[in-house]
Structure 1
């Protein structure tokens, strides 16, 4: 006998109608159904800003990265004038995708027929087109995609009417001014695919409630539950803070940082910039995840990190960061295990969401954001 259809949007609507003091985790259908994923792609990933990484990773003319945003292939490239541009990553001839992965190029060359575009997206040349009387290369320009930098991050959006990133995140910028986030240099960048829903991984980042258990073999002992502060979120982001143990020296403010005072010098911000940029920001180092769904049960992760430039001249900086990267890799193994188990559990017919802890306030705010964006997209 077929099950009755469950409307995941209506389930989330009922879930988010509860006040935080009575809140439950989001219902399983929000994570497991194609129906809800389609709502996210249409009303969230097609409309909001998506982070492709750090600007300093695209420093030289011709440096590029690529992504698929809500089904649309996009490339981001530094042009010859030093400006970052985002544009369609689809050739205007027979519509092959153009660049792949990340790298550096002198020109954008189609791998199918070698139509060649300048770094600004204008067509430079096309072989064997002289006999087509209607062809004029000056009429070809790769469609541009809205692109902005903010505190060293590169954001793109398919929505030409999206408010500026700097306006949406002005409160974040004010809150973390003493960290000077623009002046952190990316030391590594990787891409991974995990077998879990993107929201499971996002929520895993948003709460440190799981640290003592999931990360008992790594960082669990460096953060205490009683030191975690989880304020109410805001429309474009949520955050919480934890105090790092001073034995992790590169998480502390450097001696030359006179911007942070008292406990600020060992405070870590865990910033969740909606929909899917997740930043761990310490006074010494940062790392981040930028997430995009690959179906309900897989997530593509853009993973990077590096150090504050305050540490750039320290003689032991390379070894310290190598040790940190090894630690982060171990933490990722633990997180992957936890989040893939959660998705497996969510997919069970007997999965029932329980009440949230006060340490999961960001998860509640994330659910409110999802509901608000879908309501706005539907005109509700």
Structure 2
């Protein structure tokens, strides 16, 4: 392995995926710790691909909004007066203050600095004391629009005007799981947090279930067996695997009233990693997800949410089932935080080196291939 030490992180990445999967090792340490490599990721991945801003149903009414940062760019996502979800720059066209913060509801976008006021479509409605500036033209000062599409209930945003539509790019997800339509699920809980690990460590942690028996021994580890896990080949846009669950969490199984799911599909939990950073666990009864953005090499911003399928949500016991799953997932997150932060601390060690991958880590290798397809050597 030592011959790679003189290579740049990008060259190390390409060398890492140049070997076949059955000989593959975990990704080199520099890919997680290097500021230069993170800058390349921001430029070639986060500024180019589709990122998830959460679920469409959380912006239920015109004027409901959320804010996010994509590759350093402040973005507003809102439901406009026509009922459409759109995204735009979150920077005033006057002296460039950011406009909205967090989430909320507003009738107009008002700059906190000089009160320039924009409509929900981004057009400038009014600006006080500008009548003596001969170059001032309201029509030329709209907020720049950003691509935004709702795919299976997920709000997808991209700074790249040429990115392929999610509906086309991710058609394979619908083909893979035709009997679970994610647009029919409803988010019931959502929060944001920041962990002390690299975004890829957390993404890779989601992509493999090899860690479940140990890392999640206190929660879900016993509900799945390594010898029952299947890791098929993924696609250029996403990887996936599935786990067959026992009945220790009823909500993970098809609702008794559900007649469309048969056999193992009634107890199958799908784990979808939509590149670069939307990670969805989908069961017949509930979903949960992580949407990741880097915060420097050693920290990650996480949008976490969960929700239920329509038949379970309509169940009289829905609230009790939901509270149980919420408590479970809170514990699972604590376990994942511990494991992924330990990995990042280990990556900083001089004596550490990446080891060989298990057959249950095929998605991790495919993730490295995706990164290499985006980042030039």
Taking the aligned partners of 1:71 and 1:313, their CA distance within structure 2 comes to: 41
Residue in structure 2 matched with residue 347 of structure 1 by the alignment: 348
Q: Secondary structure at the match of 1:41?
A: helix
1:259 is displaced (CA, Å) by: 2.2
Match of 2:358 in 1: 357
Q: TM-score, normalised by structure 2?
A: 0.97
1:200–1:343 CA contact under 8 A, matched in 2: yes
Structure 1 residue matching 2:97: 3-state secondary structure: coil
- Pairs aligned (count): 373
Give the drift of 1:255: 2.5
Secondary structure of residue in 2 paired with 1:177: coil
Partners of 1:6 and 1:29 within 8 A in 2: no
Native 8 Å contact 1:47 1:157 kept in 2: yes
Counterpart check, 1:124 vs 2:121: no
Quote how far apart the aligned CAs of 1:139 are. Answer: 2.1
Paired position in structure 2 for 1:163:
164
Measure how far apart 1:6 and its partner are. 4.5
Measure how far apart 1:134 and its partner are. 2.1
Query: For the residues of structure 2 that align with 1:6 and 1:20, how far apart are their CA atoms?
Result: 21
Equivalent in the alignment of 2:333: 332
| 2:249 matches 1:258 | no
Shift of 1:171: 0.8
2:199 aligns to what?
A: 198
Q: Which residue of 1 aligns with 2:13?
A: 12
Match of 2:235 in 1: 234
Structure 1 position 362, deviation (Å): 0.3
Paired residues for 1:41-60 under 5 Å: 41-60=42-61
Q: Secondary structure at the match of 1:355?
A: coil
Aligned position for 1:286: 287
Alpha-carbon distance in structure 1 between the residues aligned to 2:49 and 2:298: 22
Cα offset, 1:128, TM superposition? 1.7
Asked if 2 retains the 8 angstrom alpha-carbon contact of 1:279 and 1:289, the reply is: yes
Give the drift of 1:313. 2.0
Find the aligned partners of 1:278 and 1:169 in 2 and give their Cα distance: 14
1:306-331 Cα deviation digits (max 9, x unpaired): 10011122111011101110110111
Q: Per-residue deviation at 1:293?
A: 0.3
Q: Is the 8 A contact 1:209 1:359 kept in 2?
A: yes
Could you tell me which residue of structure 2 aligns to residue 135 of structure 1? 136
- Partner SS, residue 204 of structure 1: helix
Indicate conservation of the 8 Å contact 1:66/1:73, yes or no. yes
What does residue 209 of structure 1 align with?
Answer: 210
Contact 1:45 1:69 in 2 (8 A): yes
What is the match of residue 38 of structure 2? 37
238-247 or 123-132, larger mean C-alpha shift: 123-132
How far apart, CA to CA, are the structure 2 residues paired with 1:314 and 1:338? 35
The corresponding residue for 2:268 is: 267
| C-alpha distance in structure 1 between counterparts of 2:372 and 2:297, whole Å | 17
Distance 1:272 1:313 in 2: 28
CA distance in 2, matches of 1:137, 1:6: 52
Equivalent residue of 2:375, what SS? Answer: helix
Q: Which runs of 5+ in 1 are unaligned?
A: none
* C-alpha contact 1:289 1:304 (8 A) present in aligned 2: yes
Q: Which moved more, 1:293-302 or 1:131-140?
A: 131-140
Larger mean Cα displacement after TM superposition, 137-146 or 276-285: 137-146
Q: Distance in 2 between matches of 1:337 and 1:49?
A: 28
Report Cα offsets for 1:171-207 as digits up to 9, x if no partner.
Answer: 1011112112111100111010000000000000000
Provide the rounded CA distance (Å) in 2 between the counterparts of 1:55 and 1:313: 20
Q: C-alpha distance in 2, partners of 1:172/1:241?
A: 13
Residue of structure 2 equivalent to 1:177: 178
Output the TM-score relative to the length of structure 1: 0.96
CA distance in 1, matches of 2:189, 2:21: 38
Distance 1:24 1:139 in 2: 53
The runs of 5 or more residues in structure 2 that have no matched partner are: none
